[in-house]
Amino acid sequence: MAEAIRRGRQLAMVFDLNKCIGCQTCSVACKVLWTRGEGQEYQWWIMVNTMPGRGHPRDWDQMGGGYRDGVPQPGRLPKREEWGGGWEFNYDEVFYGGKGEEAYLRPLGPQPQWGPNWDEDQGAGEYPNAYFFYLPRMCNHCTRPACLEACPRGALYKREDGIVLRDEGRCRGYQFCLEACPYKRIFFNFSRRISQQCIMCFPRVEKGVAPACVRQCPGRAVWFGYLDDEEGPVYKLVRQWQVALPLRPDFGTEPNVFYIPPLAPYRYNPDGTLDRENPRIPTEYLERLFGPKVRDALATLRSEMEKTRNGGHSELMDILIAYRWQDMFRPFDRDPVDTSWS
Which stretch of DSSP H or E encloses residue 49?
strand 47-51
Q: Within a domain: residue 220? A: yes
Q: Within a domain: residue 290? A: yes
CA-wise closest residue to 174 among 185, 184, 164, 188: 188
Q: Within a domain: residue 102? A: no
Helix, strand, coil % over all residues of the chain, rounded to 5: 30, 20, 55
What is the C-alpha separation between 313 and 210, in angstroms, rounded?
29
What is the C-alpha separation between 23 and 20, in angstroms, rounded?
8
State how beta strands 194-196 and 187-189 pair. Answer: antiparallel
Are 197 and 182 in contact by the 8 Å Cβ rule? The answer is: no
**Residues with pLDDT less than 70, the chain:** 1-7
CA-wise closest residue to 80 among 115, 46, 111: 115
Domain of residue 290 covers: 2-86+114-338
Q: Within a domain: residue 109? A: no
217 torsion bin: left (phi>0), alpha (psi -120 to 50), beta (else): beta
CA distances, 163 to each of 156, 285, 311 (Å): 10, 30, 41
Q: Within a domain: residue 91? A: no
Q: Within a domain: residue 139? A: yes
- Residues 274-301 as b or e (16 or more Cβ within 10 Å = b): eeeeebbbbeeebeebbbeebeebbeeb
What is the C-alpha separation between 69 and 36, in angstroms, rounded?
39
Q: Within a domain: residue 108? A: no
- How many separate domains does the chain show? 1
pLDDT of residue 6: 57
CATH assignment at residue 168? 3.30.70.20
Q: What is the pTM of this model?
A: 0.95
Are 158 and 167 in contact by the 8 Å Cβ rule? The answer is: no
CA-wise closest residue to 35 among 139, 144, 176: 139
Are 47 and 293 in contact by the 8 Å Cβ rule? The answer is: no
pLDDT in tens, 183-228: 999 999 999 999 999 999 999 999 999 999 999 999 999 999 999 9
